[in-house]
Structure 1
């Protein structure tokens, strides 16, 4: 004998159940007829709230990952008239930023070299100094870079630049240096 499937009638009929019946019917009909359905229609929750929650969480995660970055450059004198640059290597900096800066200066068409200040060639026109701040969050990345360009004699500031980005998804040091030196040389 085949029995029809019967739902459990639940507790005995009461006045509270009678009062909640129209509300339950209204919510269930809204969920079932809505184009955006809830994940489970057997629960009484309005349609759209889970998708709204997921959208808000995704937006918050995107904002946290991108973070805020700032790049500012300022030049006092046009740098295109100088050709020979020397990047002072910091003794406690093991990330080879001086080599990255030299490579970018050469890409911009300048003659550049790096090393300790005591090894600076006599024909150097511009001394480039930098200060870098690195941080570690599952990998080491550049969080801040300050560049200053000075004439050798007399020591006069020509330009400076600052990069700052305290976020989880940082830029590569090559991109940071290119973003700082490009505007200083008008490129």
Structure 2
């Protein structure tokens, strides 16, 4: 009887630890009254800690969608664009480095007020490549804008 309880306990412990590794979350929201369709030019602010050129991945996605995009350091508003894109990328080591989480904000160029925000979080079992994370976040933002 003791062996059966011990085996069941160990089995449940292993099962719960495995299920905790497979986390996948993708969210997006747009500020009510915002018009993302009116934004045709963007300025992507390169994060000072970005060593993986995530700003270029965001730029590439937006250019493929037909937008005019420039990148560079953070500037004092107003920006010479219809929208300003900022992001936070978090990386994690699990045999190899991978992007654990990406948050992208689209802001007004005059005052940096957030117009839209999207987030993607994938642990090692559901990991995506950085371009896939950018695609997931921005696609969800534009889906919620409609």
CA-to-aligned-CA distance 1:153-187 (integer Å, 9 cap, x gap)? 13321100111122344111111111111122239
Q: State the match for 2:25 in structure 1.
A: 70
Q: State the match for 1:35 in structure 2.
A: none
- Secondary structure class of the residue paired with 2:124: coil
Measure, in 2, the Cα distance between the counterparts of 1:120 and 1:175. Answer: 30
Give TM-score scaled by structure 1 length.
0.61
Q: State the match for 1:84 in structure 2.
A: 41
Gaps of 5+ in 1: 1-55
Matching of residues 43-54 of structure 1 within 5 Å:
none
Asked if 1:127 corresponds to 2:84, the answer is yes
- Secondary structure class of the residue paired with 1:94: coil
Matching of residues 81-160 of structure 1 within 5 Å:
81-118=38-75, 123-160=80-117
Q: What displacement does 1:119 show?
A: 9.5
Deviates more, 1:79-88 or 1:153-162: 153-162
CA-to-aligned-CA distance 1:94-126 (integer Å, 9 cap, x gap)? 011000000001111111121112499952121
Q: What displacement does 1:66 show?
A: 7.2
* Contact preservation (8 Å) 1:79, 1:184: no
Gaps of 5+ in 2: 1-10
- Secondary structure class of the residue paired with 2:143: coil
> Would you tell me which structure has more strand in proportion to its own residues?
2
- Secondary structure class of the residue paired with 1:185: helix
- Secondary structure class of the residue paired with 1:91: coil
Instruction: Give the total of aligned pairs.
Output: 130
* Contact preservation (8 Å) 1:85, 1:124: yes
